[in-house]
Chain A
Amino acid sequence: MDAKEKFEQSLQSSENEQYILRLYITGITPRSTQAIANVKRICEEYLAGRYELEVIDIYQNPVLAKDEQIIAVPTLIKKLPLPLRRIIGDMSDTERILKGLDLRIKNDVQEKR
């Protein structure tokens, strides 16, 4: 199997992969609520049925901020599939989120070709 085939195969499999996402927010600020809404919308649209999203308020649990290396808020962490990604912001830029979640990689590759 050469590198190209391997790559194609991994792209195939990623479409069925389970996504584990964590969204870290700080209380009920407009930015937090906006981020939650945006993430939920995108997940439903692109990852329906194969994602798990947990929303965590770090005001409630500051130790988690340390453990998860949270600096900017809101932060969406894609724990799985690897590689780990952090998307920061109010999630208003859908293209960027999709890129961060590796959901646009196929198009990118095609464009490059």
Chain B
Amino acid sequence: MSKTNSTEIYDSPLQKSPTGIEGVDDITLGGLPTGRSTLVCGGTGCGKTLFGIEFLVNGAVRYGEPGVLITFEETPDELNENVESLGIDLKELEAQKKIYIDYVYIEPSEIEESGDYDLEGLFIRIGHAIDSVGAKRIVLDTIESLFSGLPNKAILRAELHRLFRFLKNKGVTAVITGERADGTLTRHGLEEYISDCVILLDQRVENQLSVRRMRIIKYRGSLHGMDEYPFLIDDKGISVLPITSLEMEHDVSTERISTGIEGLDAMLGGGGYYKGSTIMISGTAGTGKTSIAASFARAACERGERCLYLAYEEAESQIIRNMHSIGLDLEPCINKGLLKIKSSRSTRYGLEMHLVMMHQLVNEFKPDVVVIDPITDYKNVGKDTDVKSMLTRFTNLLKAKKITILLTDLAHTETIAKTAVNISSLVDTWLLLRDIESNGERNRGIYILKSRGMAHSNHIREFRLTDEGIDLVDMYVGPGGMLTGSARYSQEALEKAEELVSRQEMEHKQRELERKRKILDARIIALQAEFEAEEEEINKFIMQREEKLKVLSSDRDEISKMGQADQRT
């Protein structure tokens, strides 16, 4: 490739070559600068070589860019063995002419200097390697070995300058690894030569747990993530947590999904949780958090959705057995491949490792629903703030994927409103389970502390684990306060008795009234009869008097007639 070509690359807007390493392309906003050199530095065992090999292999396999690996420390056989476990077959790629490996071996005891020299031999080898596979990418791992093999540092430094110019002219995207030293990025100051992009890998031990982190120290001409990003090396190679999960631009769903408990759906305005929301169930030990979580998991599987259940306290078989006892059969879900229970001790990994592991599980299993039971166990491996930051990133990641996440939280006191890891701000729906102790028994109560964006019940419901699953019962709230369990039963019995008594009393009164009415009626009849008798008598008297008056008047007429007759005569 000619020199003009390389200047063209330099002048054009920065092109990037994707590394194909999970997360790295996110934090570099596209990959490493094409046609330039990137320094990857870090202490021993931090993954520099792996970074380089993944960059090459991904280039060769996924992006159609053949690559050259110049290794100074490990022989091709050793390298092959090391990466074989990651499913990378370097020999096969070499045979396909996609990758060219040159092992540069320097044995200081063999070497004697006599006069002036240059490193043209190395240049020829690199040039030959690049030309023979048409390489677009190159990894030098680690070029600092030259410093231990060649005594004349002045020549070496001059030649290194020339080497990086040479690589630029060749137009290859280079990854140069360097061992980190105290105070400086690399032991021999490689950062002086490579000014385009510097990535620092770091492995630290905090609280006896090892955490790997990656940071982009500089990236000339490009924006990049500034923070330290935890990464993980496992059987799939390097993965860095993507920063895209830190953005809060995700669509929200109005779709509701059932909690798996009828009564709880009703409490949440009849529909259940919002799809893609974060649900937390807080409660003291033995309040039934796992049962609620398992009900939800099973409901999801019954809808045909996939559920990932991360258990930190119980083994898979133990969860299945225990849930069986409350009538929740999880086995069919597992057999159908819809439910995946992943049990592990939280102390097995550091926090960041957990995050990466969960991230990977999510990417692999592609669940619709994730349950973490319980999040409190993360406190064993990290500080509260770290746990919160980890959960924030994880929940955001899931939200972006519209995955509903249910967290359980073991609270140690009854004043749960301040939850253990204080992540309430992350939580959309927060259910509180409480022990209610009274009259020598312990009962469970459930209420909704908050539920964003939905009308929800403000009642405390009693929550019972029965053979047929979880049952929510209305709680008795009477003058004597809240009653649960047998106290509620006895209170209800008492009420029934009282009701019976009053009903009897009422009936009694009614009968009395009836009797009184009858008495009244009888009296009315008697009075009427009396009245009628009196009326008759009075009438009779009146008639007699009228008769008497008539007789009297006719007598008077007779007398007057007689008088007249006297006069006329």
Contact = CB atoms under 8 A, between A and B. Distances in A.
B455 to A, nearest CB: 75
A49 interface: no
B227 to A, nearest CB: 39
A69 B104 contact: yes
Contact of B114 (A63, A65, A66, A90): A90
A58 B124 contact: yes
A97 interface: yes
Given A65-B124, A65-B128, A73 B117 contact: yes
Interface string B101-131: 0101110001111111111111011011100
Interface string A91-113: 11110110110000000000000
A66 B125 contact: yes
A87 B112 contact: yes
A60 B119 CA distance: 16
Contacts of B114: 87-94, 96-97, 100
Contact of A58 (B113, B121, B146): B121
Interface string B57-93: 0000000000000000000000000000000000000
B150 interface: yes
Interface residues of B, number: 25
Interface string A52-87: 000000110011011001111111000000011111
Contacts of B118: 31, 72-73
A103 B364 CA distance: 66
Nearest to B112: A100
A19 interface: no
A52 to B, nearest CB: 20
A72 B116 contact: no
B112 A71 contact: no
A26 B120 CA distance: 7
A96 B116 CA distance: 12
Contacts of A90: 114-117
A1 B130 CA distance: 55
A70 B125 contact: yes
B117 A84 contact: no
Contacts of B113: 87-89, 93, 96
B112 A86 contact: yes
Interface residues of A, number: 35
B120 A97 contact: no
A92 B116 contact: yes
Contacts of B106: 69, 71
A76 to B, nearest CB: 8
Interface string A32-52: 001100100000000000000
Contacts of B149: 71
B120 to A, nearest CB: 4
Nearest to B150: A72
Given A62-B127, A71-B106, A84-B110, A91 B121 contact: no
A68 to B, nearest CB: 9
A41 to B, nearest CB: 13
A88 B117 contact: yes
Contact of A31 (B111, B116, B127, B146): B116
B100 to A, nearest CB: 10
A25 to B, nearest CB: 9
Nearest to B116: A90
Given A58-B121, A73-B121, A97 B112 contact: yes
A90 to B, nearest CB: 4
Nearest to A42: B114
A17 B169 CA distance: 47
A70 to B, nearest CB: 4
Contacts of A72: 117-122, 150
Contacts of A88: 111-114, 117, 150
A63, A65, A94 pick with most chain B CB within 10 angstroms: A65
B128 A63 contact: yes
A86 B116 CA distance: 14
B128 A85 contact: no
Nearest to A87: B112
B287 to A, nearest CB: 69
A35 B105 CA distance: 23
A94 B114 CA distance: 7
Contacts of B150: 71-72, 88
Contacts of B105: 69
26 contacts: A34-B115, A35-B115, A58-B121, A62-B124, A62-B128, A63-B128, A65-B121, A66-B128, A71-B119, A71-B121, A71-B122, A71-B146, A72-B118, A72-B120, A72-B121, A73-B119, A73-B120, A84-B110, A87-B112, A87-B113, A90-B117, A93-B113, A93-B115, A96-B115, A97-B112, A97-B114
Interface of A: 24, 26, 31, 34-35, 38, 58-59, 62-63, 65-66, 69-75, 83-94, 96-97, 99-100
Given A62-B124, A75-B121, 5 more contacts: A66-B129, A70-B125, A71-B149, A71-B150, A99-B112
